[in-house]
Structure 1
Amino acid sequence: MARCHCHWRNVCICLCSPCILLALLMFYITIMVCMDMTTTVEWTPGEISQSKNHFVATGRWKKNCKVPTPETFWKQHGDAFWNRLQLQIDSRFKPILHLKNIPRDFENINFHDSLLRDSFSDVLDTNRSRKNFEESPETIQLFVNHMQKRDYSTIIQPKGVCGAGVENQKEPPLILMAIKTTMLNFKNRQVIRQTWGKEGWVAGHNGSGAYVRRVFLLGTEDTESLAQELLHLESDRYRDILQWDFMDTFFNLTLKDVLFWKWFSHHCNGSQFVLKGDDDVLVNTPKLITYLQGELLNKSQTLNEFMVGDVIVSAAPIRDRGSKYFIPESFYKGLYPTYAGGGGVVYSGLLIKRLHRVSKGIHLFPIDDVYVGMCMLHLNAYPIHNPAFLTFGFSGKEEQEPCAYHKILLVHKRSPEQMVVLWKDLKKTKRQCWDVPLRDGRKKGKKQ
């Protein structure tokens, strides 16, 4: 009898053990899924909080165990063209389904060019997308026709290793001035060369100094024109022209970013920082050098994610057809990510190399500074706002105050004539405005 009881006990153990183990496994999986659901951030447009030097998007915590449909700064639902394009990429690699769980190695994923092309073809081939495309403004249609291409050749490259600089440079440059310009804006370039963009050793505000290099970023308008011939002569003289073979339009400014990032990653290993700005900005170079040297000492933010400028949060696309920033709802829906105004921004050389890698998995967007913000969000990095960057100019009568231009690092929208006068005034009033600090006070951000 005891032998029979032992036999049946062994049979029960053999039959029940797999079932018990399977039940425990299912229970464990259920628990893990629920934990993942409760830590999923669902981003709610307009909810922006500020943490230390960063502007960080906040969200609502999901408490249920249902399969989530995470949202990004852009809306995944609907039929907006860019949203559907990027969703195809992001859903494959899951990079920004929610801000908290962006894979740290997303920037190192080996994106193949065919991935962008395939997603582009899949989305554009739908009837709805075709209809939206045909009803879009000509500028959007032209952008869409070329947005999957990035392999433009260079027409002119700087003669130096990393733009114009002195030959007997004794240490790596602190900053490379990378200025967006156009073929016909020779006067702007010439004034910049003679004022705030002068290459070589530049004294800082506090008696120190650093090496500065310079490069101008251009597309083309007509490669066989007289202007193109003059540009070649200009390059021979100043060795600071970097020109690619794409049409230099407003929506193609994004191409200047991604192509510059690629060029910089191959030719500028030594430059610690880059100022990327328009050719109508005035930069207080001595103050900027001192500021950046202070950042290196303070280490307030790791250099591989350092970006500082005039930060804009919760911006919505412009729907006014009369604006050059016009983006139709058929192309993009949602808010823009946090970004630094493209008139003038400074970021580290290390960050540029990361932006170059991550941009390979992000479809181009017509507004260049917004696109940089998209790339930053994929890197889980955020720009620092500094009120000394005035990409929208002075407020009120502040410009009329004594030493006003000694309080800033950069101001936008200044003509070549104004630059010459203001640069002379900065030098003339240097002694009397020596102790004037940079503009301070943090803003909440403004919409584009």
Structure 2
Amino acid sequence: SQTFWKKMHILGDLFLIAALYSMRSPKSDHFVTYRRFKDMDFTSISKTFWKLHEEALWNQLQLAIDRHLNPILNPQNAHRRFKSRAFYDSLLRLSFSQVTDLDPTRRKIEKLPQQMRDFVSHMKRRNYQVLIQSPNATCGAGAVNEKEPPLLLLAVKSTHLNFKNRQAIRQTWGRVGWVATHRMNGGQRQEVGGYIRRVFLIGKEYTRNSAWNVSELLQMEDQLYGDILQWDFDDTFFNLTLKDVLFWKWFTHQCGQTRFVFKGDDDVFVNTPNLINYLHDQLEKPHADRTMNEFMVGDVIAAAFPNRVHQSKYFVPDSFYEGLYPTYAGGGGVVYSGQLAKRLHKISGRVHLFPIDDVFVGMCMTRLNAHPTHHPGFLTFDFRGDEEKELCAYHTILLVHKRNPTQLIELWDELSKTRSQCLHVPLRMSNKKTSLLG
């Protein structure tokens, strides 16, 4: 009997590998890969991020989920795929218990750094109460009488005490309502625009200064601006992934026809007029209705290794995760379609939480057989050399990371003053092809 089931597990894993490496329709939410099964080199599996037979905790947890969804090992689950969110929630808990109830695994967890142990203690939980959500803004703050569906929702990850960051964004690149801009089309100046909405994604934060009730201040802020979305979870770096998962759920139920989402940090500068022009260009491309199903653009990172430096906030020990990271868009800001946001909500129920939010999004994208597009206009590591000093430097980008509130206001003012002089300056372009390894 044991020999039989051992063979069945091996057979099931081979089927899983075939499923992982078989090409699916872009509209499918099944197992995915970058090449067809018939051309596959099985020796390359160990080099990919989706390692199937490793001892690291996350890899074991994910393998347990995949085995439950394997139609050979568990044919009764095949017909239930994607029909019940409760089914996936229970599957996450079941797979977590199966792995962590083992004595070797418990000992492994005990040796993890404290921050990682805290993450593991609640990584199977995804349901958290909404503490603040403006009843007058179902999909973030925006215009009262929008005459067409919103073009873009700005979803900005923030924290309780970053009021100055939020206020600077509200006054500059994060303004809501109808935003008009101009672009050159065949030598002619053309006006385009779109309705913009805004929401700040915040967890729960605790302060030692009892003189400040940050929750009350946040409620007052939302009453004034209607753009705060807060959940009842501890707002730590490793919990940034929860903001993605909970945002996708909220977006799916609240944001209906919104065409695009910008998801980023509250310390980035965004050239909103350029972004509006860029998104209109995407919508005018042939077959845009199909490509929007998996559209994501940003600074794409491929075949990255996990950070093994203990002092880094990105540190992930090899006892927690083995293998390369998937291709992902990182660095503080990414843009994707509303259609993709809903698909990410759906598929995320089949992927265990990961403490690095950008990597987790990449894992979900890989499951969807969707690949982010690299754009050199996303400057996640700032300008090179003296480029920033050029008159029209900020007119050539979509985003630049690491700018404080004072810099946001100064840059936005400078952008306005030099707009006519820099009208014909194009966006940064690159012939670099993004690798899909990992």
Given the two structures, how large is their TM-score scaled by the length of structure 2? 0.83
Equivalent in the alignment of 2:106: 130
Is 1:422 equivalent to 2:411 in the alignment? yes
Query: Is the 2:49–2:322 Cα contact (8 Å) retained in structure 1?
Result: no
Q: 1:109 to 1:227 in 2, by over 3 A?
A: closer
Q: SS where residue 270 of structure 1 aligns?
A: coil
1:203 aligned to 2:180? yes
User: Whose radius of gyration is greater, 1 or 2?
Assistant: 1
Displacement of 1:63: 8.6
Counterpart of 1:164? 141
CA distance, structure 2, for counterparts of residue 408 and residue 199 of structure 1 = 21
Alignment of 1:33-44 (within 5 A): 40=18
* CA apart distance, 1:90: 1.3
- Distance in 2 (CA, whole Å) between partners of 1:107 and 1:210 is 33
How far, CA to CA, are the matches of 1:106 and 1:308 in structure 2? Answer: 28
Say which of 320, 339, 350 aligns to 1:331: 320
Deviations 1:40-70 (A, max 9, x none): 5998xxxxxxxxxxxx846996799xx9996
CA positional deviation for 1:121: 0.9
Matches within 5 A, 1:285-324: 285-299=272-286, 302-324=291-313
Of the candidates 114, 126, 132, which is equivalent to residue 150 of structure 1?
Answer: 126
Q: Percent identity?
A: 57
Q: For residue 222 of structure 2, what is the aligned residue in structure 1?
A: 235
| Residue of structure 2 equivalent to 1:113 | 89
Shift of 1:274: 0.4
Partners in 2 of 1:63 and 1:381 — Cα distance? 19
Q: Partner residue of 2:252?
A: 265
Aligned pairs, number = 391
Instruction: Encode CA deviations 1:202-230: one digit per residue, 9 max, x unaligned.
Output: 11232211110000000011399511111
Corresponding letter in the other structure for 1:209: G
Q: CA RMSD in A?
A: 2.8
* CA distance in 2: counterparts of 1:296 and 1:191, whole angstroms: 30
Which 4+ stretches in 1 moved above 4 angstroms?
39-43, 56-64, 67-72, 105-110, 444-448
Higher relative contact order (CA 8 A, sep 6+): 2
CA contact (8 A) 2:160 2:218 kept: yes
Report what 1:439 is aligned to. 428
Which residue of the partner structure matches residue 164 of structure 2?
187
**Does the residue aligned with 1:424 lie in a helix, a strand or coil?**
helix
Judging changes above 3 Å, is the alpha-carbon distance between structure 1 residues 120 and 40 closer, same or farther for their aligned structure 2 residues?
Answer: closer
Task: Quote the residue 1:80 is aligned against.
Answer: 56
Q: CA deviation at 1:401?
A: 2.3
Distance 1:303 1:109, change over 3 A: farther
Contact residue 107 and residue 354 of structure 1 kept, 8 A: no
Match of 1:256 in 2: 243
Structure 2 unaligned runs (5+)? 1-10, 22-32, 72-77, 184-190
CA contact (8 A) 1:386 1:442 kept: no
- Output one character per residue of 1:335-382: Cα deviation in whole Å (capped at 9) or x when no partner: 000010151000011111110011111110000010000001111111
Which consecutive residues of structure 1, in runs of 5 or more, have no partner in the other structure? 1-32, 44-55, 96-102
